[in-house]
């Protein structure tokens, strides 16, 4: 799957700009959360804002960047 690489500044700008689309920080990990009633049954389920949903986590790489899915390219 193609990825987009974000450095420190661009990652913070990306998350700040897209909080309303479910992105937030968990330490140094970028998390994308999408509401779903079935989230409680899934390994990537996450309870947030009094709702269940799915989460995708984008961890900091050893090179100090984050690689997110290219499907979010239009959000940069």
pLDDT digits (tens, 9 = 90+) for 10-36: 999 999 999 999 999 999 999 999 999
Q: What span, in angstroms and rounded, lies between the C-alpha atoms of 20 and 41?
A: 24
Using CA of residue 59, residue 64, residue 70, residue 75, what is the dihedral sign?
A: positive
What is the model's pLDDT at position 45?
97
pLDDT confidence band for 1 (50 / 70 / 90):
confident
Q: What span, in angstroms and rounded, lies between the C-alpha atoms of 11 and 43?
A: 25
What is the model's pLDDT at position 38?
95
């Amino acid at each position: 799957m193609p990825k987009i690489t974000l450095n420190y500044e661009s990652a913070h700008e990306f998350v700040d700009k897209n909080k309303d689309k479910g992105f937030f920080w968990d330490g140094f990990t970028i998390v994308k959360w999408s509401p779903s009633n079935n989230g409680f049954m899934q390994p990537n389920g996450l309870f947030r804002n009094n709702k269940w949903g799915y989460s995708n986590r984008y961890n900091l790489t050893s090179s100090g960047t984050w690689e997110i899915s290219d499907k979010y390219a239009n959000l940069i």
